[in-house]
Structure 1
Amino acid sequence: MTTYQVRVTDMPTSERPRERLLNYGAKTLATAELIAILLGTGQGPGKLSAVGLGQYILQCLGENQRDAMSVMRDVSPRELMEIPGVGPAKATSILAAIELGKRVLQSRPPEQTVVDDPSVAAAAMSHELMWQAQERFAVLFLDIKHRILGMKVITIGTATETLAHPRDIFREVLKHGATRIIVAHNHPSGNLDPSQEDIHLTRQLLEAANLLGVPILDHLILGNGDFSSLRQTTALWQEANSA
């Protein structure tokens, strides 16, 4: 990884992180550059630039960027301030940004929101699933027009697994008077690939849904600020419809 020694003020204006964010959007910036904007100034080992210090912080938090981002979501002020170059002011800026990002992702759409895309369902469930340290399994209850009626966490598991039984799930479906549902669970590791247990449970739920006449629109896996849709990434729904 290249470590930035050049000061941000010595960069051409068009190449500075703040200006690039304003002109092209935050998505165009590397994670270290986003951290640099929060830090404002650099230093640390070798008198790094703000961007270089951002890179150094990520290196201290994890062996790679995925590990660093996983640690960062629950990092403590003490852990940050143990990194050379990060004092109370820089630590509080980083922690405030992390918490703000969590709150944006966890903000719940108002009920009666129409779920017309998996991303809408993921946003509606993220406040209960996205950043949890343990696996949780939840159900989003919808009416016939795919409007949200409510949501319920059915089970809470360990750090690596959770259990959900179709009986418990459809008991809640009937209680809420839902005619459509979306099920979802989180992977605390951030890996969004479905496990064999996830595939098996989804098959069970699709079979039960066909018997009860309550369609399951999707099974989502959430984690580390992102999500995946089993309906889009597997052939389970086609298999269920052809059975």
Structure 2
Amino acid sequence: MTYSLRIADIPVTERPRERLLTHGPKILATAELIAILLGTGQGHGKLSAVGLGQYILQQLSKHQRDPLAVLRDVSAAELMQIPGVGPAKATTVLAAIELGKRAFQSRPGERTLIDSPAAAAAALSQDLMWQNQERFAVLLLDVKNRLLGTQVITIGTATETLAPPREIFREVIRQGATRVIVAHNHPSGNVEPSQEDIELTRQLLMGGQFLSIPVLDHLILGDGNHQSLREITTLWEDCPQGD
């Protein structure tokens, strides 16, 4: 595809909107998705909308940055510094980014059945997924694993948070929950557990045994991903929770 062409000069079957309607959005390149938001092109070289989308990604990837990570938190002023992007295009892109965040972070309603790590991560994503500080939260459940609510227990620095087991179980008991899933985020986006994460999980499982409050899982969230410690460790075999 020649990115200096107008969209009208591109064969119909190759135009972003038509490709999306025919094949769905997942098949489109990131530049094509941006092009649909931009509507028109221009800028240096009279780029097409797709060419301008590609150029925006190139500008955002300066200094070896991930352009999508930059785009997630970009400001209108930063976008409008790019030739060809004015207030209308910048606000359209920002509105789409914010809408995507809200759709991704929307949590299920109360009494929703939490029956998988993915369901638990969805319920906790608003509190944990995109935060730039470590947070420790709990997912409060009833005896049938239905959602009662969520609660952030502690907020730490960009690299460390403290979550004493006593505070965690105090909140669980105060809220009248009978089961719990604990979770925290890694602002770096790396969802692999540290040795400290493993040790804290062990302490919580022992506390769950003593209090007869099963700890069903410990999730790590970050940058759109999640990891279940129950799935990747033998801790639940060492400390059965009776669930």
- TM-score normalised by the chain length of structure 1: 0.88
C-alpha deviation, 1:183, in angstroms: 1.1
Q: What residue in structure 2 maps to residue 89 of structure 1?
A: 88
Q: What residue in structure 1 maps to residue 25 of structure 2?
A: 26
> Which region of structure 1 is more displaced relative to structure 2, 193-202 or 73-82?
193-202
Aligned residues with identical type, % of pairs: 69
Structure 1 residues without counterparts, runs of 5 or longer: none
- What's the secondary structure of 1:105's corresponding residue? helix
Q: What residue in structure 2 maps to residue 140 of structure 1?
A: 139
Tell me which amino acid in the other structure corresponds to 2:84. Answer: G
Q: Distance in 1 between matches of 2:227 and 2:206?
A: 21
Q: What residue in structure 2 maps to residue 190 of structure 1?
A: 189
Change (3 A) 1:172 1:51: same
C-alpha deviation, 1:87, in angstroms: 1.1
Change (3 A) 1:229 1:21: farther
Q: Cα deviations across residues 98-156 of structure 1 (Å, max 9, x unaligned)? A: 11111112222210111112222122112211222211110000011001111110001
Change (3 A) 1:3 1:178: farther
Q: What pairs with 1:34-49 in structure 2 (closer than 5 Å)?
A: 34-49=33-48
Q: What residue in structure 2 maps to residue 112 of structure 1?
A: 111
Question: Is contact 1:70–1:190 with CA below 8 Å preserved after alignment?
Answer: no
The reply on whether 1:78 has 2:57 as its aligned counterpart is: no
Change (3 A) 1:109 1:10: same
Change (3 A) 1:66 1:176: farther
Aligned residue pair count: 241
Q: Distance in 1 between matches of 2:119 and 2:65?
A: 25
Q: What residue in structure 1 maps to residue 172 of structure 2?
A: 173
C-alpha deviation, 1:53, in angstroms: 1.9
Tell me which amino acid in the other structure corresponds to 1:13. Answer: V
C-alpha deviation, 1:94, in angstroms: 0.5
Deviation beyond 6 Å, 4+ runs, structure 1: none
Q: Distance in 1 between matches of 2:189 and 2:153?
A: 21
Q: What residue in structure 2 maps to residue 238 of structure 1?
A: 237
Question: Is contact 1:58–1:65 with CA below 8 Å preserved after alignment?
Answer: no
- What's the secondary structure of 1:133's corresponding residue? coil
The reply on whether 1:209 has 2:208 as its aligned counterpart is: yes
Q: Distance in 2 between matches of 1:55 and 1:234?
A: 42
Structure 2 residues without counterparts, runs of 5 or longer: none
Higher-Rg structure is 2
Change (3 A) 1:28 1:216: farther
Change (3 A) 1:54 1:110: same
- TM-score normalised by the chain length of structure 2: 0.88
Q: Distance in 2 between matches of 1:90 and 1:207?
A: 54
Tell me which amino acid in the other structure corresponds to 1:88. Answer: P
> Which region of structure 1 is more displaced relative to structure 2, 89-98 or 216-225?
216-225
Q: Distance in 1 between matches of 2:201 and 2:62?
A: 34
> Which region of structure 1 is more displaced relative to structure 2, 232-241 or 45-54?
232-241
Q: Distance in 2 between matches of 1:41 and 1:50?
A: 5
